[in-house]
């Protein structure tokens, strides 16, 4: 089955001490993917079935479970805190807005119990506007190809140089720091 195939691959990563940001079924409450077409009840059963198989049956402990709404988060689709490590939403609205309404909609569902991410965006939010609006995305992901090419390079440089933004070159080498402690 598909779940077994995925679990086999994820198990190999677990054996290599590789954590995985696992974001299945993105834009879950849209109706454009098969997993969103049958409504929130069936989606939650699907999510929990995958979670139980991976975590309980296959004993995968290297997954960070990420729930991704459309730009209109809806609590009816939330499978529960037990099954989610990070939640968020995505939209491709133009402009550098902090997306306070989308952030608040996710926060109304999860509270402050878990981090909130801006999963996919056409234009990343301005960090100064995020600060001003109290919108603290744990991350945002600039979507690729034409979306990235449409963002002004001066704006992107401002973003990546901003003190609130941690870029890849600023992330510590966790294997160097923790790798020896993790080996058995």
| Residue 83 pLDDT level (bands cut at 50, 70, 90) | very high
Check pLDDT > 80 for residue 174: no
| Residue 139 pLDDT level (bands cut at 50, 70, 90) | very high
Mean pLDDT of the chain: 92
Stretch 118-132: mean pLDDT: 94
Phi, psi of 107 (to 5 degrees): -60, -35
| Residue 143 pLDDT level (bands cut at 50, 70, 90) | confident
Stretch 4-8: mean pLDDT: 97
Check pLDDT > 60 for residue 182: no
Query: Closest by alpha carbon to 137, among 94, 93, 99?
Result: 99
Contacts 24+ apart (CB under 8 A), 77-81: 77/28, 77/29, 77/40, 77/43, 77/44, 78/44, 78/109, 78/110, 79/43, 79/44, 79/47, 79/48, 79/51, 80/44, 80/48, 81/110, 81/113, 81/114
Stretch 155-166: mean pLDDT: 93
Instruction: Calculate the CA dihedral of residues 141, 138, 114, 17 and round it to 10 degrees.
Output: 70
Q: Do 67 and 109 meet the contact criterion of CB atoms below 8 Å apart?
A: no
Check pLDDT > 70 for residue 133: yes
Q: Which residues have a catalytic role annotated?
A: 27, 120
Give the global pTM.
0.89
Stretch 176-182: mean pLDDT: 67
The structure tokens listed for 123 are: 């234009």
Q: State the pLDDT at residue 183.
A: 52
| Residue 144 pLDDT level (bands cut at 50, 70, 90) | confident
Check pLDDT > 90 for residue 138: yes
């Amino acid at each position: 089955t598909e779940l077994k195939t995925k679990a086999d691959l994820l198990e190999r990563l677990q054996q290599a001490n590789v954590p995985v940001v696992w974001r299945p079924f993105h834009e879950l409450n849209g109706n454009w993917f098969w997993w969103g077409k049958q409504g929130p009840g069936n989606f939650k059963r699907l999510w929990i079935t995958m979670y139980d198989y991976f975590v309980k049956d296959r004993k995968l402990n290297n997954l960070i479970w990420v729930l991704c709404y459309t730009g209109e988060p809806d609590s009816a689709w939330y499978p529960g805190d037990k099954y989610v490590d990070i939640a968020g939403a995505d939209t491709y609205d133009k402009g550098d807005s902090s997306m306070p309404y989308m952030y608040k909609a996710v926060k109304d569902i999860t509270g402050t119990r878990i981090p909130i991410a801006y999963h996919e965006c056409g234009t990343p939010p301005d960090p100064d506007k995020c600060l001003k609006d109290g919108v603290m995305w744990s991350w945002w992901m600039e979507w690729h190809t034409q979306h990235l090419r449409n963002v002004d390079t001066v704006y992107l440089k401002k973003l990546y140089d901003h003190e609130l933004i941690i870029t890849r070159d600023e992330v510590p080498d966790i294997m160097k720091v923790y790798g020896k402690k993790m080996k058995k």
